[in-house]
Amino acid sequence: MTMIEAVRSAMDVSMARDDDVVVFGEDVGYFGGVFRATQGLQAKYGRTRCFDTPISESGIVGTAIGMAAYGLKPCVEIQFADYMYPAYDQITQEAARIRYRSNGDFTCPIVLRMPTGGGIFGGQTHSQSPEALFTHVCGLKVIVPSNPVDAKGLLISAIEDPDPVIFLEPKRLYNGPFDGHHDRPVVPWSAHALGDVPDGHYTVPFGKAEIRRPGTDVTVIAYGTMVHVALAAAEETGIDAEVIDLRSLLPLDLDTIVESVSKTGRCVMVHEATLTSGFGAEVVALVQEHCFYHLEVPVIRVAGWDTPYPHAQEWDYFPGPLRVGKALQDIMKG
């Protein structure tokens, strides 16, 4: 499966297992979503369980919150992560607070699916990576898969979770394989690296990172698209890098990070979002706090530019294997 097919399969499996699961958003019903992630779901489950909404993110999320408080399990698509800002008040002030404000009398089991990051030359308003805006909010969970197998298992876990989950789907990985060396999908996926996506129900737990490449020289921490870039950089430089795929930003698997950095003594943090106040800054602070006496050199961050997302220079904007490879070489020089 591609990631699109895996995401669709997760919703299909969940809707078949639980009549309370509903799917909606802009164009997700009849049209099947702008990326076709919900294609066929309305025909299979009807217009009361998979339906289109007005172009109003605040209204979409507000409706989902009301449904969740009533007992339903909405899996909502925000067409692009860039469009979530009108709904930010509903997400942070309502969805994230309901359990606490009601002393546990109400919960908010909603999933907000958002295509995130670059890869389609979408420019400033279709390419943002806003994960740090959500990891700062108590009461939310934030998930970013890097491959179809994880995408399906993590999304099923999100739909079954009793609290709100922000599910960020890297659209550069949507419609085909990506090996990290190029700015276009490359066919086929490595079956050895990813395996086949099971057809039925399975889950991938939150708060557990995955070591995609074991190594002893340096720890590279990444998530989403940047996992593949980090793997390519390690291969191209020949440096024995241990690549950690976080998968779950909130909750964060700190144990795996600490164990790896304590072993290697070096750490490179990679993400596509802008550098300043990015999620990587939080990870670097935790590494410094927990691994200070193991570090041989300062931690290096490799991230997007501190500018609005450029259209023409998309590949230069987010870290590629050259930029990540240079960071690996620099940190090994010490």
Enumerate the active-site residues: 126
How far is it, in rounded angstroms, from Cα 207 to Cα 204?
Answer: 10
Specify the residue for token string 């779950």: 248
Cis check: omega of the bond before 115, within 30 degrees of 0: no
Say which amino acid occupies 150: D
| CB neighbourhood size of 48 (10 A) | 9
Say which amino acid occupies 172: R
Instruction: State the DSSP code for 91.
Output: I
Evaluated on CA atoms 90, 91, 93, 96, the torsion sign reads positive
Structural tokens at position 293:
């006496």
Distance from the Cα of residue 25 to its chain's centroid: 19
Evaluated on CA atoms 203, 161, 257, 303, the torsion sign reads positive
Please say whether the beta carbons of 180 and 127 come within 8 A.
Answer: no
How far is it, in rounded angstroms, from Cα 51 to Cα 38?
Answer: 10
Please say whether the beta carbons of 84 and 57 come within 8 A.
Answer: yes
Contacts of 328 (CB under 8 A, 6+ apart): 218, 220, 233, 234, 237, 239, 241, 268
How far is it, in rounded angstroms, from Cα 268 to Cα 234?
Answer: 12
What is the length of the chain? 334
